[in-house]
Amino acid sequence: MRSIQMASSTHYRLQRVGVARRFYSKEQQAQDHKHCVELVQNRDMEGYLCGLLMPSASRQAYFALRAFNVEIANIKDASRSMGRSRANTYNDDDEFNTGDSSLASRLRMQWWKDGVSEVYDGKIHTDSSSTTASDPILQSLTSSRKHNPVMRSLSHAIRDHDLTHRFLRRIMEAREEDLDVLQYEKLIDVAQYGEDTVSSLLYLSLEAVGVRDEASDMVASDIGVSLGLITALRSTAFRAMQGESSIPVDLSNKYSISMETIYNAANAHNDNVSNQEESLEAQEALRNATKEMADMARFHMYRARGKQSDVPTQAKQCLLPAVCGLQYLDVLHEYDYDVFHPSLMDSRRFKLMLLLGRAWLTGSF
């Protein structure tokens, strides 16, 4: 949740804006924005659809934030694709275990952390300091950040909307800790990850439209926690292929779920599976855990829905991602919490567009 923050120096902020504008033309800004939009469209379709309904004055900042989020989230996925070895979800004592993230992933995350810090320090668009200039490696890293379209667009959004550094830092720190996680220990840890990542992204979106109040943050917090839980459920199949489990250890113990259970549940829809009875038992165990996670997600989403009338009109569009989450929960319920049901994988994009349009027109999700 947002805490009271000290106001930054007006003179210093204006000075940073002036420096940035000398180095950042309108043409370059438009090209960077286009890059961010295309990146979000390719990697975060729901975020892209919500962004099309954002106020035009805040759309650049919204897509810069979403593109930044895509880049940060992709760091763990990229480490998987490079064949990084993964430990089993359970060790010999069936205890919680973690993996070992690659040095390359850590360096990529640090690159973004340093870049964002440079923006707040007012360095990324100024001439290199003497320390940086004397170190060819640091000089190369600084130059690469200056030429990265997402970083440039994010820099512009930070300065134009005075975005809070703490929220960006919280997203990166949570993503960095997640690099080593194969399975969260408790359900509350999954919820906290949603707060640290998705809720923080929503807080920043609210700031992009000029809204900074407790009531809006409370609604955004609940939506973020809910979407974090939903994302975990939606990634069950993908994470299982990486030797990871989206079901936390406490629920896995409660319903006797192992990685083998998840694999067997995934095979329940395969007519050629050798042991159909075993697959159905696994499917039932996973269904129970899925329902408990979905119930928690629904609780937070419904609590946010009940408080949305307290949110200013100009902030309503920032909450549109809740519509995407609610649609998934409804479809999941329709298929009896079978997270591997083939029809659950359908995008149902047309219906989602109608739901988003209705929420945009009515101001409620």
Class at the top of the CATH hierarchy for domain 29-362: mainly alpha
Residue 360: predicted pLDDT? 96
Residue 81: predicted pLDDT? 58
Beta bridge partners of 98: 181
Please give the average per-residue pLDDT across 342-350, as a whole number.
Answer: 80
Residue 70: predicted pLDDT? 98
Cα separation, 298 vs 287, whole angstroms? 16
10-28 pLDDT tens trace: 344 434 444 445 456 889 9
Residue 127: predicted pLDDT? 43
Tokens representing 100?
A: 């070992």
Split at pLDDT 50, 70, 90, the class of 342 is confident
Buried b (16+ CB within 10 A) or exposed e, 294-327: bebbbebbebbbeebeebeeebbbbbbbbbbbbb
Return all residues near 327 (Cβ < 8 A) that are at least 6 apart.
Answer: 348, 351, 352, 355
Split at pLDDT 50, 70, 90, the class of 343 is confident
Give 243-297 as a DSSP string: T--SS-HHHHHHTT--HHHHHHHHGGG-TT-S-HHHHHHHHHHHHHHHHHHHHHH
Split at pLDDT 50, 70, 90, the class of 179 is very high
Half-sphere exposure in the Cβ direction for 160 (13 Å, CA) = 20
Average pLDDT, the chain: 86
Sorted by where each begins, the domain ranges of the chain are 29-362
Split at pLDDT 50, 70, 90, the class of 80 is low
59-77 pLDDT tens trace: 999 999 999 999 999 999 8
Split at pLDDT 50, 70, 90, the class of 79 is low
